[in-house]
Amino acid sequence: MARIRQAVTIKHVAADAGVSLQTVSRVINKEPNVRPQMQERVQASIDKLGYVPSLAAQRMSGSRSYLILALNDRERTIAEWRARQGSDWVDQMLLGGMLKCAEFGYRMMFELVDTHNDHVERELTAAITALQPDGVILTPPHSDNMLIVNLLEKHNIPFARIGSAGSNAGIALTMGDEKAGEDSTRHLIELGHKRIGFISGPGEYVLSGWRQSGWERAMQDAGLPTDGLLAAGDFSFESGLAATEKLLGLQDRPTAIVASNDHMAMACLQVAKGLGLTVPDDLSIISFDNTPIAALADPPLSAVDQPVAETTSQAVELIISAKNGNAVPEGLINVPAGFVDRASTAPPPSA
């Protein structure tokens, strides 16, 4: 009869190393008040016994859960998952967050919370009570929902606000949206475009305004008009169709369009082709986000590359630092966006 191997516990490690359970716990949790010799001694026992720390062991001190909770918008996230439209915001967030958590012995939990005010407080309170996270990461539009912000402050939980200007509460991180809007517009101006349209995102996202402001600044600096060249969208494909039809229906239509996300940029492609326009010979298009659909489009879309993984990674590190009693940088923390130049941009037809 085969013998069942007994699971190695923290007690086995303590006995093998000849130390207390509390000492093993401090080593596992990477606490600073452990002598290097003791760390080596305990780690040697961990390696020899093949011990894998559990969350239960990490919680022995009673002061931490070693969990970081990341919140995303329920309605929009579920809609994108069901549509299977290639948005990888959640994937990139988990990539950056989970890898950074692992460096510090933490785990990342992901929750979907309704943005509507009559649900959000109840749902978030339930999640906090059940998980008791050491920190929370907020993504748009939760980042600027003061019900959420005030609730986290009330519970004295460190939290990061991605895509928010902040308001002296939490750790505010941005992904260079305004500069990205400016730089992508200047890229088109340098190609010779003078009529550059812009499709904005929904007003509930602060970053929508930042992207629009970047386009406006670049156009103003170049002495180019913006009147009639702004069309409102809400990040959905359908809103991109309507916005593009408006812009390309102008008597003096734009020769280039900057769309505030990939779904709306894909809509630009569809409308342009329906009108018999060739991209980029007749119309140049630049997108935001650089999700997988941007590279797979026909032609592949030039796009602002949003550093979601890098930003989430920094958010985790700053939350853990705050939990350790360290001061966090004041003001906005900016993680610059990149730009991928593909086949959807070229000089205008008259150039």
Question: 99-141: per-residue pLDDT in tens?
Answer: 999 888 899 999 998 877 777 888 888 888 888 899 999 998 8
Question: 61-108: per-residue pLDDT in tens?
Answer: 556 788 999 999 888 888 888 888 767 889 999 999 999 998 888 999
| Residue 6 pLDDT level (bands cut at 50, 70, 90) | low
List all residues 6 or more positions away from 76 whose beta carbon is below 8 Å from its beta carbon: 235
Is there a contact between 78 and 111 (Cβ–Cβ < 8 Å)? Answer: no
Would you say residue 60 has pLDDT above 60? Answer: no
Question: ω before 141 within 30° of 0 (cis)?
Answer: yes
- What letter represents residue 108's amino acid? M
List all residues 6 or more positions away from 156 whose beta carbon is below 8 Å from its beta carbon: none
| Residue 57 pLDDT level (bands cut at 50, 70, 90) | low
Would you say residue 28 has pLDDT above 80? Answer: no
Would you say residue 294 has pLDDT above 90? Answer: yes
pTM of the shown model: 0.80
Tokens in use for 121?
């407080």
Would you say residue 344 has pLDDT above 90? Answer: yes
Is there a contact between 192 and 209 (Cβ–Cβ < 8 Å)? Answer: no
Would you say residue 311 has pLDDT above 90? Answer: yes
Q: Among residues 328, 77, 334, 113, which one has the least CA distance to residue 207?
A: 334
Distance from C-alpha of 13 to C-alpha of 24, rounded to nearest angstrom:
7
Distance from C-alpha of 108 to C-alpha of 71, rounded to nearest angstrom:
11
Residues in the chain: 351
Is there a contact between 302 and 340 (Cβ–Cβ < 8 Å)? Answer: yes
Is there a contact between 138 and 161 (Cβ–Cβ < 8 Å)? Answer: yes
Integer CA distances (angstroms), 86 to 146, 266, 285, 289, 343, in order:
30, 12, 19, 11, 19
| Residue 1 pLDDT level (bands cut at 50, 70, 90) | very low
User: To 5 degrees, how large is the angle CA 231–CA 211–CA 292?
Assistant: 90
Distance from C-alpha of 289 to C-alpha of 227, rounded to nearest angstrom:
26
Average pLDDT on 143-149 reads: 90
Rounded to the nearest integer, the mean pLDDT of the chain is 89
Tokens in use for 263?
């779904």
Neighbour tally for 267: CB within 10 Å:
23
Would you say residue 303 has pLDDT above 90? Answer: yes
Q: Is 32 helix (H, G, I), strand (E, B) or coil?
A: coil
Distance from C-alpha of 11 to C-alpha of 24, rounded to nearest angstrom:
9
Integer CA distances (angstroms), 302 to 12, 85, 200, 229, 261, in order:
56, 18, 17, 20, 12
Enumerate domains of the chain plus CATH numbers. Answer: 1-40+49-63 (1.10.260.40), 67-175+307-338 (3.40.50.2300), 177-304 (3.40.50.2300)
Angle between helices 117-131 and 146-154 (to 10 degrees): 30
Tokens in use for 117?
């005010």
| Residue 5 pLDDT level (bands cut at 50, 70, 90) | very low
Neighbour tally for 249: CB within 10 Å:
10
Would you say residue 8 has pLDDT above 90? Answer: no
**What is the reported pLDDT for 351?**
56
Question: 202-243: per-residue pLDDT in tens?
Answer: 988 899 999 999 999 999 999 999 999 999 999 999 999 999
